[in-house]
Structure formats: C-alpha cells, structure tokens
Structure 1
Amino acid sequence: MPETVMPEILDCTIRDGGYVNNWHFDKKIVREVYRALSKGGVDIVELGFRGSAKYFDPDRYGPWRFTSEADIHEVISGIDGARIAVMGDYGKIDLEDLEDRKNTPVEMIRIAAHKNQVAQAIELLGRIKTKGYKTSLQAMGFTSYTEAEKDDLRSRTRDSDLDYFYIADSYGSIFPNEMAALFGPFLELAGVKVGFHPHNSLQMAFANTLEAIRLGVHIVDGSVYGMGRGSGNLPTEVLIAYLGVQGRPKYNVIPILQCIERYFIEIKKEKPWGYQLPYMISGMFRCHPYYATELMDRREYSIEDIWKALEVVEDMKPIGFDRTIIEHLIKKGVVGSLGRSALNQSPRPAAEPESRVHVPVPYLNRHPGRDCLILANGPSLKECQKDIRAFIDRYRPVVMGANYLGGLFAPDYHAFTNKKRFSMYVDSVSPDSRLMIGENISREMIGEYVHREYETLYFRDVLDADFDIADGRIMSNCRTVSVLLAGVAVVMGARRIFIAGMDGYLLKKDLKSALFYNEKYDPVDENLNIRRHYENERFLKQIDEYVRAKGFEGIHIITPTSHKAFYKGLENYLS
C-alpha cells in the first residue's frame, strides 16, 4: 500500500458507540480513548453528539449526547492529541448550540441528514462555517437514493462550501464491487473531501474501507472494537493494525488494543454489539434494520417470511424506519404465504394460485350438528385439565387442538398454521390425531418434516379481511390458529363451539405465562400482545355473530379468560 495516498482516519466511538449505552461513558474512559487513539495515529476523534435539552432529556441520555464544552476540555486537557469533531442530527441541533470556533477545541462539525433533509442541512452547515468550523455532511441511507437524487446531491455538494462530504452505508448494505460507482462522481468534485462511514451488517466494513482507500477517498470512519448500534462499525484497531503492517510508521495499534483490554471487553459483555441476523437481513435489502428486528421480535414469522417482506420494503425505499409499513405488510398478508403478490390483491386475490381459490374443501359439513371443542395453549389448559377431560367425556365433542399440547390431550384434529411452531412441534402430534396443516405452509416444507397423512387447512393468509367463508375456505387468518379453528368448526357444521385454554393476553400480568409452557417463539412485548388480544377478540366476535346468524348458540370459552364476553365456565356444564 505505500503508493496509496492515505486518507484521514476519524474515530467515532463515543458518538456512534453511544447508541449502545445511551452515551453513558465515564469521563475517564473517554479520556483514555482519546489518549489511545491519538497515540495510535488517528487524525480526528468525534467526542459525541452536540445537542440540548430542547431535543433530548438529560435524565434519559448520557453526557455525550450533549458533549458540553466543559466536558470536552476536561477529557482532553494535557493531551497533545487528535483533532476534535462533534456531530449533530439535522433537526435536532441549532446554531446556538455551537460556540464560535475560536472559543472551543472542536474543529469540525458533522451533520447527519436523510435525503429529504439534505438541502436544509447544507444551508445550516453554511451558517456553521461562518463560526469558523470545518463542516461535513453525512448523507445517511445513501443506497436508498435514486439516480436522480444522487445527481441532485452531487450538484448541491458541488455548489456548497462544505469541507467534507460523507457517504454513510447506514444499513451496511454496500459490497466492494459497488463502491466505485457510488463514490466516483463525488471524488471528481473539486474543493470537497469525500468520506466513507461503513457499518458492518454484512461484515463488509473492512473490505469496503480498503476499497474506498484504493479509490482515493479522503477520510474514513471507525470505532474502537467496532462499537456501535447493532452489528457495529469498522473496528478502528483493525484498520490501524493493517496500515501498520503495511509499512506506515504513523500508526501504532498497541495503545488502542490496551484500551480495549482495559475497558471495552467488559463494556461489550454488559452491552453487546456485533454481527446479528436482523442486521444481516436488512443489509441485504438496503433498509433500516428495525424492519427485520420488528418482525423477528414478534416471534411468529419464519425467516423466509421476513426475507420476502423485506424484498417489498426494499422496493418501497422508505426513509428510515416506519412501523406503519410493517403493520400494512402484515395486514395484507405480505408477511406470510402470499408475499409480494398480496399488494396487488382485489377482494378475490387475482395473484393467488387458482388451485387455492377453487380447490374443494374436504371437511366442509363433515360434522353437522356436532359440538366442537377447541384446545388453545393458555395456562388454563393445564390448570383445568381434569375438568376439561370430564367435559369431553360428558359431551363427546369433536376436539381440535393447535400447536404444542404437551401430551395433555390427543385431539381429533391437531392443526398448525405458524411455520416456526410447525417445524418445532409437528413431531409431538399424537398418531391418533388427524394432522391439519395450513395452506400457507409450502409442500416443500411439509415434505421435510411430515411423513404421515395430513389434511390441508384452507384459509386466506391475510389479517385485514373480515371473517367469512367461501365454499368452505375461511377468508382471513383470524390472527391466531386457535381462533381460526373456531372458524373451521363452523365450516365443519358445528352446532356449538367451545374453547378451552384461550386465556387472552390481558389476563396474566406475567407475560411469560401467556402459554402453559415456556416457548421462545411467543412474543413478550406488552404492546404487541395487547394488539394481538384485541385482534383475536375482533375475530371471535365476527365468528360468534356468524354462528348466531345461523340460529346456533355461538362461542363459549369455558376456562378463565380475559375475553369476558364469551366466558361461560366449566362448572356450568359439569354440575
């Protein structure tokens, strides 16, 4: 590498690493980081964000979300070290938050902006420059820019008085072979230094940085131990070590490694970061990692479902993270068996295979006039097992269960519609039960896990449709399989529908007790479970009304439940 002109190196540990610990760094650690980086050959150290209580609550955020002048002076005092930078998020920093350059050791102000904020951010940086600072624009989410937007940004950068312009690989989605096309047009600009801020979602941060150096960028970012949100950043020490062995005497990795040993190994144990699956998936689809994280946190969608959903998110090119997009994709059935085609559906989905729409439903009116009992998976299924068995013995209902029953019962029908639970629990189905598998689960997947006869459970895998039945096929997914089975009971011709073990998500304060067993796939987020509860209730009401319209009794939940409108306890039937 001796022929290559070396870029400046900026370390952003205290700023970007602050996402891990909410900027609660001890001043001694910040001072030692600054000392180590300065001795290691780093040119610029970014000592945090600049902000004010106007935008950030000091009781919630640590001092390096504000990075006061007093704190900066304290941590760098007596150290003849690297130049100092701070960053502001556009819209969350005011000109008044910055001293005149002559009154501060801070040399550079960097502003991070989304593409809909770039024009205003450049204008703000122009005013910041009049205070005497070097200025830098960080273009976030650059891979989501259209070609026209890239051209516009290039023109604005060319016509500005920026000192630095950064391309930020916000989602860690860039590959080395893409770097030249992204950076080339900006490297042609005179008077502005071009920088690269990598993220490590796809473990490409180091490879991309080396390619950026080869292309001639003027400045690159890293952080100690790669510290940063999610998958983290380019580890500064890796770049410094590499440059050292390439014969660059300026760089000495030892002080940085000593700092890692003393402080960062322990910090990482307490607040982990590094390679994570949601960040890898979002990196592949050039979108905010929260899209993948949100879907994975719900613990009910397979990786294949999430992958297909993010294909759609990538096409939408959203700015940052918008939770309403997730809700829309779930309701439309994009997160599930229908995938991308669900967005083009009419009331009868034209994109669905004809075989799904017209296939005869074999269990239509199979049990006319019978009672049906649905076994859900709440704690009351186990707590009331003895009485539920007595109910079955007395009334001889058609018994339908779902997911994991733990050997408590061997129902007549045992159903799965969730791919994760199917793969986990299908082996637990009693040989005396008839296995039912949702049509949303592919034949390929079924072939991997099932070596017995089964019956397809027919329904449309969408959430935003009301309960209805067309030729025996249920026209929504009814949110959970136990509620869906109440609809299946209607299809089979049930006269009365009883449910046991549907405790509801509002009954127990301890969210871990939502099931009678400990399941890693069940969501523990309180808000998600509250939404799930009311979605279940919506479909229970619709099924109940559907059954009553036929002149039958409707739905009765016979074990303790927070769905109070449907509760009629077991003692009413066993006395």
Structure 2
Amino acid sequence: MHTIIDCTFRDGGYYNQWAFERTLVQNYISVMAETGVDYVELGFRFFAGDKFMGPCAFTTDDYIRSFDIPKRLGVAVMVNAADLTNYPEGPAAAVHKLFRQRADSPVQLVRIAAHFREIVKLEPAIHALAELGYLIGLNLMQIGERTPEEIVELSRVASDLPIEALYFADSLGGLDPSDVSNIIASLKAHWSGPIGIHTHDNMGRALANSVEAIRCGATWIDATVLGMGRGPGNVRTEYMLIEMNRLGIGKYNITPLLNLLNKHFVPMQREFGWGPNPYYYLSGSYGIHPTYIQEMMSDPRYGQEEILGAIEFLRTNGRDSYRRSFLDASRNLFTGESRGGFNITNWAQGRDVLLVSGSPEAERHKDGVAAFVRRANPVVIGLNLTKVLPDELLTARAACHPVRLLMDAAHYRESPVPVFVPVARLDASVRGSFADVKMLDYGLTVEPGAFEAESDYAVAPAPLVAAYALAIATAAGARRILLAGFDGYFGDDPRSHEMDAIFDVYGQSAKARPLVAITPSRYHVPQTSVYSPDL
C-alpha cells in the first residue's frame, strides 16, 4: 500500500506568502480527490509572526472546514520543529497551543520537519500529538549531509517514537538514486514502519530518486503540482502518478490534474519562476540551500556574475542553512584593506574623465559620445567590456568582479587597452587568465557608507565597477567626471537605490569631483547633453 501526499500549497507558499485564492484551493482539493491522491498537505501551522502570511501559513481548523473536502481525501499540515522546541513553555505546550483533539479537527496527519539535532528535543511534542490522536510523520531534513552511522542511530531513536511514517528530505537537492538506496538501507537498520521521501529537483533527479525510493521499499511519496516549491521545486505530482501507474502500483486519474495544471499552475510558474536551472544545479552539487538561489534570482541587483560569485562564496560559508547575512557577505568579496601596485596620482590630472558603461542610452548615442571624445580628448575609462566605443578611443578599462573577470578573460587578452583591476582580490586562476593582459593594479576595499580614493587603492560602499571607476577617476586627479551609459532603472528598482546611494556617499567624500551625466539618466546626478557644444 502506497501513500501519495501532495504538498503543493505548503511548499509552494514560499512564493506568495501562502496566500492562495480560495477558488483555487477548492478546485485543487476536488481535483486531488478525483485523481486518487491520499493526502493534501494544505500548508504549515505556524505561530503568529511579525509579517504578513496568507491562510495556508496557519492552516487553521476553521480555515480547512471552510472547504468541501471529500471523505476519501486525507488532510495534513506541517509544523517546523524549531517552532515546537523553541516555544517558551516547552514542545508539549506548543502542540496544545496549535492543535486540539483529533476528534474535533479536520486534520488527520501532522508532519514535523526536523533537523537531526532537533529529534531528541522533539520527543515531548511527538508524544503530545499522539495523545491527541493524530497520525505523525517525522520528516528528516538535509539527510544528504548526514553519515550512515548518524542515520542508523536516528532510525533507532525513531523506532521508539509513536510515529506513522519516517520521512527523509533531499533538502539541498544533491542526492542521486544510489544515495537514496543507501539512506533507506540505513533507516531500515532499526525502523520497520513506513518510509517516505521528499525530493527536490535541483539536479533534475527528483523523479528518479522518488522511483528509486519506491524500489527500495519507501511507501510514502511527496509531490507537488508542476513541481511547485521552493527553489527548483519538487517531483511533479503529474509525473509521479504517471510512474505509479506504469509501475502497476495504483490507478491514478491524471486528466483532471492536467486541466488544473494548465489553467492555474502554468500561469503561476510563469509569474514565480520555480523550476530547475544551472544555478540550482550548482547549489545541489555543492550542498547550498536553495533559498539563496531563489532570493538572488528575485533580486535584480544580482546578475549572472554576482550569482556565480555568491555560489562560489557559499560553497564554504554557511551553505546548508539560509541566512540573509551570508548572502549579503557573498556579494562582498572585498573586505579588509587591499593596496594595489599602481600609483595613479596625476594619471588624469586636471582633465575630464569620461566613464562609459554599456546601456541602451549609450548605444543609442554612441556616435555622439565618440564625436565628443574625438573633439574634447577626455581620459576615457570603459566599464567592464562595454563596446560603446572602439578600443582606440579608450584610455583604459575598469573591472573588479572576480567571476566576471574570469568569464571575460579571453576578450581582455584580445584588446590592447590596459585594465584597472584590484589584483590582490583575484585568485590564482583569474590571475593566470590575465597573464597577457596589461593590468593596472589599483586596490579595492568595500565598506558600507564609506568612500575614499587614495593613490593606490579605493574604499567604496559597494563592490560595483561604477564605484570602483569613480574612485579611479578621483584619485587620478580628474577635473570633472562625465558619465555615459548610466541610464538607471524604472520604478522602485533596488539597483537604482543602490547606485544613487553610491553617488550620495561619493558626493560627501572629501575628494569628490563634479559629476555630470552626458546621456539620459534616471540617477540623481546633474545632467547635460553629449551634443552640447559647451560640454
């Protein structure tokens, strides 16, 4: 006998704060019953917090009773172990705060998501739930990080607890079928009850891992519609049911599910963007918590090189549990003082310095910018590999992000233009790629709220090439700093706020030079026109 739990609204709620439309929830419940799924896990049962969350974050009994739920369909909710173990009056009191007697509740199954270190502390909560009459599922998180010996010991502890099913979750999405087989073998050392699996699809193995689990004796399987779930998502319910039919395990009717999927979940996937991609693949490979990737992909400040740089940082720093502080740190690879080997004093003394960034406005006005450069002969610094101006009009380039430098190394080698680079911040692989490039070693240190431009290094408030180039131009003795291609962003885009904050900090620094945008810009800087004869 196999048990399928669809946990779409519980796992998918990470994208919309668990605020699903009532009509969708009712439609979903009806379809799940018609399809033949055993349980729907309608959400979490959280305590009240300090931010808005929708009804599927609390999944109260009254909320569940407001729907027409067919008798054959079971209802489950999940609680986080930390909410129980950190409750001031203790785990058992937390259970009694969240749950009433099973006979008075529409919930049959309560699942607890727990890390290994939390299991012993959870025992009072598990016994309290059992005394209330609930079936209990214990979900072991991040099992891929545990040794076989630890898993065997956990199976011994679990065998003495009143739980219905012992689950393991591939929380970081890095398991393969052989890992699944070994984990189940370890769990069976002492546990003789049902085993369940919850898979994530970072590396495209969610379905294969679930099928392998069944082959090895697992009988409880999690899935979500269209794979909806945090980060890369989960094994898809529709795929899992097709496989169950193929294996002769059940007879599931997927027709109504496909209608639900196409009508409601395909549009939601377009809106929220869950599903596998190379970043999630890397996170699964390196054991990085998928929320890091999800957060970066939803933050427009993170481009390709920033995400790759953060992944490289997180490989060895706080990778397996999500902490915003680690994500912020991953964006800052420039802590600590770092001096360069190039003394920039008087490099552009008394001359205008033009900073050129690749952008739609710079491309639109590139002929005007080129004509101005030929006429006025400013010092010209191209940011990264901008192609707005030909090489012969550039005095130098500036680049500072190690990942982007590594990706662009071949292009720099093909160009005769020297490049300002904080060499001390580059690892050996990047330095080796730049062996044939004329590098001007100007150091960079990042310190929020600070701006300094010294003869051989800069202190900037963010690790952005625009801030680095501002410091270069300032330390070089610029008369004015002209900006081409600094378009800015529409609306309340955080990238605009970040760049305006840099300009504000720069303007308050002791050595600040006048800034003038010569192509259209949404930033809060003075503007003129590249076509003005008085420029």
State the 1:250 CA deviation: 4.1
1:457 aligns with 2:473: no
The residue type paired with residue 175 of structure 2 is I
1:348 Cα deviation after fit: 6.7
Q: Does 1:217 align with 2:209?
A: no
| DSSP-derived class of the 2:109 partner | strand
**TM-score for both structures, normalised by structure 1:** 0.71
Unaligned ranges ≥5, structure 2: 85-93
1:484 paired to 2:464: no
Which of 19, 22, 35 is 1:40 aligned to?
35
Q: Find the counterpart in structure 2 of residue 176 from structure 1.
A: 177
**Structure 2 residue aligned with 1:436, among 419, 439, 449?**
419
SS in 1 for 2:108: strand
Q: Which residue of 2 aligns with 1:15?
A: 10
Can you list the C-alpha shifts for 1:413-466, whole angstroms capped at 9, x where unaligned? 1414156599799989xx9x945364559478779xxxxx96323234653598
Aligned with 1:511 (options 484, 489, 499) = 489
Letter in 2 for 1:556: P
Q: 63, 70, 78: which one pairs with 1:87? A: 78
Q: Tell me which residue corresponds to 1:314.
A: 315
CA offsets 1:229-253 (integer angstroms, 9 cap, x no match): 3322111222222222233354443
Q: CA deviation at 1:101?
A: 0.7
Is 1:274–2:275 an aligned residue pair?
A: yes
Aligned runs of 1:365-514 on 2, under 5 Å? 367=347, 369-377=349-357, 397-403=378-384, 404=386, 406-407=388-389, 411-417=393-399, 434=417, 436=419, 438=421, 442=430, 455-460=438-443, 462-464=445-447, 479-489=463-473, 494-501=476-483, 511-512=489-490
Partner letter of residue 499 of structure 1?
A: I
- Structure 2 length as normaliser, TM-score? 0.76
Counterpart residue number, 1:164 = 165
Do 2:366 and 2:388's aligned partners in 1 also have CA atoms closer than 8 Å? no
Q: Which amino acid aligns with 2:61?
A: E
| SS at 1:106 equivalent | coil
1:169 CA displacement: 1.4
Cα distance, 1:218 vs structure 2? 3.3
* SS across alignment from 2:182: helix
- The answer (yes or no) to whether the contact 1:180–1:215 under 8 Å persists in 2 is yes
* Map of 2:292 onto structure 1: 291
Taking structure 1 as reference, are residues 481 and 211 closer, same or farther at Cα in structure 2, changes over 3 Å only?
same
Return 279-288 or 292-301, whichever deviates more. Answer: 292-301
Following superposition, the deviation at residue 221 of structure 1 comes to 0.6
Number of matched pairs:
508
What does the per-residue CA deviation read over 1:159-197, in whole Å, with 9 as the maximum and x for residues that have no partner? 433332221112222111211333322222235432211
Offset at residue 132 of structure 1 (A): 0.6
- The one-letter code of the counterpart of 1:371 is R
* Alpha-carbon offset, residue 83 of structure 1: 2.2
Asked if the contact 1:187–1:217 (Cα under 8 Å) also holds between the matched residues in 2, the reply is no
Aligned match of 1:551: none
**Is the CA contact (8 Å cut-off) linking 1:164 and 1:195 kept in structure 2?**
yes
Aligned residue for 1:130, secondary structure, equals helix
Counterpart CA distance in 2 for 1:324 and 1:266 is 33
**Aligned ranges for residues 518-557 of structure 1 at < 5 Å?**
525-526=493-494, 529-534=496-501, 544-545=510-511, 555-557=513-515
3-state SS in 2 of match to 1:324:
helix
> How large is the Cα RMSD of the aligned pairs?
4.8
- Secondary structure of the residue aligned to 1:125 is helix
Q: Distance in 1 between matches of 2:132 and 2:257?
A: 33
- Conserved 8 A contact 1:557-1:569: no
Alpha carbons 2:139, 2:168 under 8 Å: kept: yes
SS in 1 for 2:139: strand
Confirm or deny: 8 A CA contact 2:332 2:462 kept in the other structure: no
Distance 2:229 2:213 in 1: 20
Q: Whole-Å Cα distance in 1 between the matches of residues 208 and 181 of structure 2?
A: 13
Give the direction of change, closer, same or farther, for the CA distance of 1:131–1:276 in structure 2 (3 Å limit). same
Gapped regions of structure 1 (runs ≥ 5): 1-5, 334-341, 350-356, 448-452, 514-523, 546-553
Structure 1 residues 234 and 407 mapped into 2: Cα distance closer, same or farther (>3 Å)? Answer: same
Q: CA deviation at 1:201?
A: 1.7
Q: Is the 8 A contact 2:148 2:183 kept in 1?
A: no
SS in 2 for 1:75: coil
